[in-house]
A and B are shown apart, each in its own frame.
Chain A
Amino acid sequence: MADFIVGAVEYLSKFIFFIIAVLVISPVLTWVERKQSAVMQDRIGANRAEILGLRMLGLFHALADSLKLFTKEYFVPKGADRLIFHLAPCISIFFAVMGFAVIPHADTLIISGQPVEMQIVNLNIGLLYFFAVLGMAVYGVVLGAWASNNNYALLGGLRASAQMISYEVSIGISLVGIILVYQSVDLMEITRAQGDLLFGFLPKWGIFLQPLAFFIFMAAGIAETKRIPFDAPEGESEIVGYFIEYSGMGFGMYFLTDFLETILIACLTVTFFLGGWQAPFIDGWILQTFSDSTFLGIFQLNNFILTIVQFLAFVFKVCLVIFMMMTIRWTLPRFRYDQIMNLGWKMLLPLSLFNIVVTAIIVYFIG
Chain B
Amino acid sequence: MNVHDKYKPLTWWEKTYLPAIISGVLLTFGHFRRNMVNHIKKAIGMKPKVSGAVTFQYPEVRRPFWPRLRTLHRLVRREDGSPRCVGCMMCETVCPAHCIYIVAEERPENQIEKQPRIFDIDLGKCIFCGYCVEACPEDAIRMDTGIVEISAYTRNDMMIRRDQLLSLEPKKEYYTERPDLEGKPVL
- Which A residues contact B (CB, under 8 angstroms)? 36, 38-44, 327-328, 330-332, 343, 347
Contacts and interface: CB of A to CB of B under 8 A. Distances in A.
A39 B39 contact: yes
A125 to B, nearest CB: 33
Contacts of A36: 32
Given A39-B31, A39-B53, A44-B53, 10 more contacts: A39-B36, A39-B52, A40-B32, A42-B35, A44-B57, A327-B29, A330-B28, A331-B21, A331-B25, A331-B27
Contacts of A42: 31, 35, 52-54, 187
Contact of B15 (A44, A332, A347): A347
A269 to B, nearest CB: 16
Contacts of A343: 17
Interface residues of B, number: 20
A328 B39 contact: no
Main secondary structure of the interface of B (DSSP, over half): helix
Given A39-B39, A343-B17, A347-B15, A331 B54 contact: no
B27 A38 contact: no
Interface in B24-54: 24-25, 27-29, 31-32, 35-36, 39, 52-54
A38 B39 CA distance: 12
Interface in B120-137: none
Contacts of B24: 331-332
B11 interface: no
A102 to B, nearest CB: 30
B16 interface: yes
A331 B17 CA distance: 13
Given A332-B21, A347-B16, A43 B28 contact: no
A327 B54 contact: no
A44 B55 contact: yes
A43 B21 contact: no
Nearest to B17: A343
B28 A40 contact: yes
14 contacts: A39-B35, A41-B31, A42-B31, A42-B53, A43-B53, A43-B54, A44-B53, A44-B57, A328-B25, A330-B28, A331-B25, A332-B21, A343-B17, A347-B16
Contacts of A331: 21, 24-25, 27-28
A343 B55 CA distance: 38
A343 B31 CA distance: 28
Contacts of B28: 40, 327, 330-331
Between B25, B29, B32, the greatest number of chain A beta carbons within 10 A of the residue's beta carbon is seen for: B32
B47 to A, nearest CB: 18
Contacts of A332: 21, 24
A337 to B, nearest CB: 15
Given A36-B32, A39-B39, A42-B35, A327 B25 contact: yes
Interface string B10-26: 00000111000100110
Contacts of B53: 38-39, 42-44
Contacts of B32: 36, 39-40, 327
A331 B57 CA distance: 25
Nearest to B57: A44
A328 B27 CA distance: 11
A367 B21 CA distance: 35
B23 to A, nearest CB: 10
Nearest to B21: A332
Nearest to A39: B35
A174 to B, nearest CB: 15
A161 to B, nearest CB: 23
Between B17, B28, B52, B57, the greatest number of chain A beta carbons within 10 A of the residue's beta carbon is seen for: B28
Interface string B91-121: 0000000000000000000000000000000
A331 to B, nearest CB: 4
B56 to A, nearest CB: 10
Contacts of A43: 53-55
Nearest to B24: A331
B62 to A, nearest CB: 16
Contacts of B25: 327-328, 331
A42 B35 CA distance: 7
A364 B32 CA distance: 45
